[in-house]
Chain A
Amino acid sequence: MKRLSIAEALREAMREEMLRDERVFLIGEDIGIPQGFGGAFTVTLGLSDEFGHERVVDTPISEKAIVGAAVGAAMMGMRPIADVQYSDFLFCAADEIINQAAKMTYMSGGTVKVPMVLRAPVGATNRGAQHAQSPEGFFMHVPGWKVAVPATAYDAKGLLKTAVRDEGPVLIFEHKRLYGKGGRKEAGGLDLTSGIPDEDYCIPFGQAVVRREGADLTIVATLLMMHRSLAAADLLAQEGINIEVIDPRTLVPFDNETMLASVAKTGKLLIVEEDNLTGGWGAEVAARVADSGFDLLDAPIKRLASYDVPMPFAPVLENFVVPSVDRIIELARAMVKGKV
């Protein structure tokens, strides 16, 4: 058992999978350059030293080629892990992601498979509108992709390993503010390292975890918003308000059951997401609960999300747009007290 950050856990997962399966290779920009960055967020640091530049493929700045090449290699029996530095750049490769990777197995009547992983960092970090999005909802919409959203280092390692071993394409959205060991106040000042067991482990997709138990309100949140929701729940507990916080861990497949069981208990659901409100993943989750959990609800389902604006640069603006611990507390308290 050791304690690792998310970046370290992801690196360890890739390293172990590359050792375990020679079909696994990495492809992306800046990932294996000698004395380089190890990708935009250091996740691949050192891997090219160990595995060489053949299995850590540095590419031109060509997102279409990165994703398209991953699709082609996967179809030919490899297990690529592709990296696009910022999830905003996924849109450069929209055709390869949406039309190629997602549909190849289907169009072939199941005779071709595309076992690839696509890693994409999300989250607003004072970088302005084109390096700040949380576009999970866009890709959750595409049949064919599984979508993982690890909020802890333990989950990051286990989910990435499951993704590598999956027979189809998997998107892993990683949050920029959660890569490090934590302690930063933007991340709620939390220790973001996890105890990582020495033995090999995978985390099955579609299994949410209840991060905190409570009877008054269910919060479903991912990534940074999950941590902020936990912080909000801790503060509300001092007022005697007990909040249950659920981390779905994967958006596709989504663990409806754990969420509905929690709503059955609390009768109230708040979804907190960093993406802007309209058409985000929370909208889909809200619709599912309205459908299957109608009789369980004591109050309207509420969503707390970023406002419907491009992400601004100035910290004062960004902090206003992205749900804060205070906003979560305010809405959660109002819901528990039956005021909204």
Chain B
Amino acid sequence: MAVEVLIPNAGQTSGEATILRWLKKPGDAVKVGEALLEIETDKAAMEVEAAAAGVLQSVRYEAGAVVPVLTTVAVIATAGESAALPTHVEAREALPRSTPAGPNGGAKTDSRDLLTIMRAHRPNRTLASPLARTLAANAGLELAAVIGSGPRGRIMKRDVQAVSMRPPLPTAEPGSRWSPFSVTRRTIAERMAASWREAPQVTLTTEADAEALAHLRAQFQNDLPDAGDLSYTDLFVKITAAALREQPYLNARVEDEGIRLFDAIHIGLAVDTERGLIVPVIRDADRKGVAQIVRERRDLAERARGGKLRPDELSGGTFTLTNLGAFEIDAFTPIINPPEGAVLGVGRVVKKPVVRDDELRPGMTVALSLTFDHRLVDGGPAARFLQRIKTLVEKPHLLIA
């Protein structure tokens, strides 16, 4: 058995290493862990150690050579076997050399992964078994639409079958237009269906006096630098986070055998984009000031519309906020973003007649809709939570009480 001596991938960014010197020479007996050669990368100089005991053979690169990582630079022949590496010679006649040979001139075959070699020459090739190719062709499937589950990601019969055994795609019908799910649409569809299927959801609605809130918004827009676009949503992030900190039972999710209450409060914001609904997350919203929330919300929303969010910015929310006020919606029945336990829907802040001190006069109101998972809490606690939101909307100075 021969064990290859490889240039390790030590995180060097260049993907190459320089051989400084060999500490062993061909024919030397080596022990496991014994240093064989010194290399230098753009990060550091280091020793390459023997991965097996045996005799060092087929040393293929001299000191000074620059070689890619994972290149085989020699082999260790273990007991009872001889080792040999191929030599790649362009000429028809092998060129003279002494034993053991190093390559002299010409292209080299190193022991890079065969797939790497293949991709270098045939970049568009998909790994698929001949049977899978035939089945896919017969089923009219593009191999690109199939995910391989075999070794090295090879597409196999079972993978083609898994795709082709889905119900047949609908054909055109007169008077209708059909389009397949996009990846985002399919995800939304699956998640919303799961939410509806699994969580018994109840929606509570109320109306809050929004005059103080509108006043506060105007003051922030005026007094905070770079906050001209400060929105009601930003204020509701702050209010909701504060309410959750006081009454944390909705900052939770239902699991198979119980309820998980979260310490941190991460508020998801429903953002409407061309591709569909995206919910980026503002982390630790209860610990952030309005100015920071504005900045983060602005950044997340912009990148959500540009499709540039990182996966970690789209996950980990504990409560979702959705604001349809821009569309002149008042109360509605938001749906829980699974696996969270509740969602707050915010309607438009609207000027309308209000009764204050028994007098009908013009005022500002906002409709609030809280949907909660009835497995998590009953109607009473949920109502208390919404009531607290309403109070904070009407008396926002309590936020700094």
Q: A residues near B, CB below 8 A?
A: 1, 110, 152, 154-155, 158, 162, 194-197, 199-213, 215, 230, 253, 255, 257-258, 260-261, 264-267, 293-296, 298
Assuming A195-B93, A295-B152, is B114 touching A208 (CB within 8 A)? no
- Could you say which residues of chain A place their CB within 8 Å of the CB of B154? 295
> Which segment, of B94-102, B264-272, B314-322, B366-374, faces chain A?
B94-102
Contacts of B111 in A (CB 8 A): 257
Q: Are B127 and A295 in contact (CB under 8 A)?
A: yes
Q: How far is the CA of A298 from the CA of B130 in the complex (A)?
A: 9
- The answer to whether B195 has its CB under 8 Å from any CB of chain A is no
Q: Which residues of A contact B88 (CB under 8 A)?
A: 209-210, 258, 261
Q: Does B215 contact A (CB under 8 A)?
A: no
Contact segment of B79-87, B138-146, B168-176: B79-87
A265, B116: Cα distance in complex, Å: 10
Whether B350 is near chain A, meaning CB under 8 Å from some CB there, is no
Report yes or no: A257 in contact with B82, Cβ–Cβ below 8 A: no
Which of A207, A211, A298 lies in contact with B92, CB distance below 8 A? A211
Asked whether, in the complex, the Cβ of A207 is within 8 Å of the Cβ of B84, the reply is yes
Kindly identify, within residues 331 to 345 of chain B, every residue whose CB is under 8 Å from any CB belonging to chain A: none
Q: Is B107 an interface residue (CB 8 A)?
A: yes
Q: Is A194 in contact with B93, judged by CB distance below 8 angstroms?
A: yes
Whether A195 lies near B107 (C-beta < 8 A) is no
Which range holds the interface residue count of chain B? Answer: 35 or more
Q: Determine if A210 and B89 form an interchain contact, defined as CB atoms under 8 angstroms apart.
A: yes
> Which one of B86, B91, B125 lies within 8 Å of A258 (CB-CB)?
B86
Interface residues of B in 110-161 (CB under 8 A from A): 111, 114-115, 117-118, 120-122, 125, 127, 129, 151-152, 154
Q: CA of A202 to CA of B97 in the docked complex: distance in angstroms?
A: 8
- What is B's interface to A at a CB cutoff of 8 Å? 58, 80, 82-94, 96-101, 107, 109, 111, 114-115, 117-118, 120-122, 125, 127, 129, 151-152, 154
Is the beta-carbon distance between A257 and B107 smaller than 8 angstroms?
no
Complex Cα–Cα for A201 and B93 (A):
15
Checking B83, B92, B109, B115 against A295 with a beta-carbon cut-off of 8 angstroms, the contacting residue is B115
* Known contacts A162-B99, A202-B98, A257-B86: A213-B115 contact under CB 8 Å: no
A323 to chain B, nearest CB (A): 19
* A6, chain B: closest CB distance, angstroms: 12
Which of A152, A294, A295 is most buried by chain B, counting CB atoms within 10 A of its CB? Answer: A295
Please indicate the chain A residues that have their CB under 8 angstroms from the CB of B58 in the complex: 204
Residue contacts A-B, CB under 8 angstroms, 21 given: A155-B94, A195-B96, A201-B98, A202-B99, A203-B101, A205-B82, A205-B84, A206-B82, A206-B84, A206-B85, A206-B86, A207-B84, A207-B85, A257-B109, A258-B87, A260-B114, A261-B86, A261-B117, A265-B117, A265-B118, A295-B151
- What is the chain A residue whose CB lies nearest that of B57? A204
> Are B125 and A261 within 8 A (Cβ)?
no
List the B side residues contacting A194 at CB < 8 Å: 93
Residues of A within 8 A of B118 (CB): 264-265, 267, 295-296
Across-interface contacts of A207 in B (CB, < 8 A): 84-87, 101
> In the bound complex, do residue B82 and residue A293 qualify as a contact, i.e. CB atoms below 8 Å apart?
no
**Min CB distance, A256 to chain B, in Å?**
9
Are A203 and B99 in contact, with the CB atoms below 8 A? Answer: yes
* A164: min CB distance to chain B, Å: 12
Query: Does A210 lie within 8 Å of B82, measured CB to CB?
Result: no
Closest to A265 in B: B121
* Closest CB pairs A-B (n = 9): A206-B84, A258-B86, A197-B96, A202-B99, A264-B117, A264-B118, A264-B114, A255-B86, A265-B121
Among B85, B94, B96, contact of A209 (Cβ-Cβ < 8 Å):
B94
- Name which of B58, B89, B115 has the most chain A CB atoms within 10 A of its CB: B89
**Extra 14 A-B pairs, beta carbons < 8 Å, given A204-B58, A261-B109:** A155-B94, A158-B99, A195-B93, A202-B99, A203-B94, A204-B84, A253-B82, A257-B111, A261-B86, A264-B115, A265-B118, A295-B115, A295-B127, A298-B122
> Please, how many angstroms separate the alpha-carbon atoms of A3 and B343 in the complex?
88
Taking the nearest CB of chain A, how far is it from the CB of B84, in angstroms? 3
A29 to B85, CA, bound (A): 37
| B86–A213 touching, CB < 8 Å | no
For the complex, what is the distance from the CA of A296 to the CA of B126, rounded to whole Å? 10
CA distance A257 to B154 in the complex (A): 21
Residues of B within 8 A of A293 (CB): 114
In the complex, A199→B95 CA distance in Å?
Answer: 13
Tell me the bound Cα distance from A205 to B89 in angstroms.
15
Minimum CB distance partner of B79 in chain A: A110
Q: Which of B83, B101, B107, B122 contacts A213 (CB 8 A)?
A: B107
From B93, B97, B122, B129, A267 is in contact (CB under 8 Å) with B122
Q: What's the nearest-Cβ distance from chain B to residue A150, in Å?
A: 10
Report the separation of the CA atoms of residues A209 and B86 in the bound assembly, to the nearest whole angstrom.
7
In the complex, what distance in Å separates the CA atom of A204 from the CA atom of B87? 10
Bound-complex Cα distance A93 to B364 (A): 109
Nearest residue in A to B150 (C-beta to C-beta)? A295
Structural contact, B90 and A210, CB atoms closer than 8 A:
yes
Does the CB pair A296–B96 fall under 8 Å?
no
Question: Which residues of the other chain, B, contact A213 by a CB distance below 8 angstroms?
Answer: 90, 107
A195 to B94, CA, bound (A): 10
CA distance A212 to B129 in the complex (A): 29
What residue in chain A is nearest B94 (Cβ atoms)? A209
* A residues less than 8 Å from B97 (CB atoms): 201
Bound state CA distance, A296 and B130, in angstroms? 11
Closest-CB distance, B237 to chain A (whole angstroms): 51
Which residue of chain B lies nearest to A211 when distances are taken between CB atoms in the complex? B92
A210 to B83, CA, bound (A): 19
Given A204-B101, A230-B92, A261-B109, residue A209 in contact with residue B82 (CB < 8 A) = no
Please state if A257 and B85 are interface contacts (CB–CB under 8 Å): yes
Residues of A within 8 A of B99 (CB): 158, 162, 201-204
